[in-house]
Amino acid sequence: MRSVASIAFFIALIISSAAFAVQPDEVLKDPGLETRARDLSRELRCMVCQNQSIDDSEAPLARDLRVLVRERLTKGDSDQQVLDFLVARYGEFVLLKPRLEWHTLILWGLPPVALIGGMFGLFVMIRRSKSINPEPAVLSKEEQNRLSTLVESRASDH
């Protein structure tokens, strides 16, 4: 079968197969824990899917991860401990929001740098345009005379 990704449009990439993810038997009895599990699931990538979180994916691997997350939570892990555990096991690829480290510096840094840089650039431009464009110069007497003759000659044409 041709890979779904080769199909034209953005919808095709998202859907590996339309079905739903979290199965009824996975849901934890404790609603507080279940909410935490769902929130964590949205931050974790189904590693065999294209850009799907394990919360959205119906792949068997995603199911395993969902069950794993719930196991750790039931054992009393904090959210951070669950994430750390998964990163240690599967690598950083599992996080949909990469951590700020040296190799993600550009990813996290570029947008704010661009925004601040843009603001600074605009500030400089405004300052400069003010300094090179002082108040409009007053016409000299000679120029004023020439202007009036021109205006008069235009007026007499009509």
Partner 1 sequence: MMPELGHYALVLALALGLVQSIAPVVGARTHDAALIRLANSTAIMQFAFVAVSFAALVICYVTSDFSVATVFENSHSRMPLIYKFTSVWGNHEGSMLLWVLILSLFGAMVASFGGNLPATLKAHVLAVQSWIACAFYLFILLTSNPFLRLPQTPAEGRDLNPILQDIGLAIHPPLLYLGYVGFSIAFSFAIAALIEGRIDAAWARWVRPWTLMAWIFLTLGIAMGSYWAYYTLGWGGFWFWDPVENASLMPWLAGTALLHSAVVMEKRNALRVWTILLAILTFSLSLIGTFLVRSGVLTSVHAFATDPTRGVFILAILVMFIGGSLALFASRASALKQGGLFAPISREGALVFNNLFLTTACLTVFVGTLYPLALEAITGEKISVGAPFFNLTFGPLFVALMLAMPFGPLLAWKRGDLLGVAQRLVAASGIGALVVAVVFAVEGGQSVLAPFGVGLAAFVMVGALVDLTERTGLFRLPLTTVRARASGLPRSAWGTAIAHFGIALSMLGIISAATWGTELIAVVKPGQTVSLSDYELAFDGLIQRPGPNYSEVVAKFKVRSGGRTIGAVEPSKRSFSARDMSTNEAALMTRGAGQLYLSLGDAGNDGSVAIRFYYKPMVMLIWLGAVVMMLGGALSLSDRRLRIGAPKPAAKSALAPAE
Interface residue list for partner 1 (CB under 8 A): 1-15, 17-24, 27, 42-43, 45, 50-53, 56, 91-98, 103-104, 106-108, 110-111, 114-115, 118-119, 122, 126, 129, 133
For partner 1, which is the closer residue by CB, 42 or 146? 42
Whole-angstrom distance, CA of residue 91 vs CA of residue 88: 6
For partner 1, which is the closer residue by CB, 11 or 155? 11
H helix intervals, the chain: 10-14, 31-41, 60-74, 79-90, 105-132, 141-157
| Least CB distance to partner 1 at residue 145 (A) | 26
| Least CB distance to partner 1 at residue 142 (A) | 27
The answer to whether residues 148 and 139 touch, using CB atoms and an 8 Å cutoff, is no
Whole-angstrom distance, CA of residue 128 vs CA of residue 131: 5
| Least CB distance to partner 1 at residue 76 (A) | 24
Task: Report CA torsion sign: 145, 151, 155, 157.
Answer: positive
For partner 1, which is the closer residue by CB, 73 or 94? 94
For partner 1, which is the closer residue by CB, 8 or 137? 8
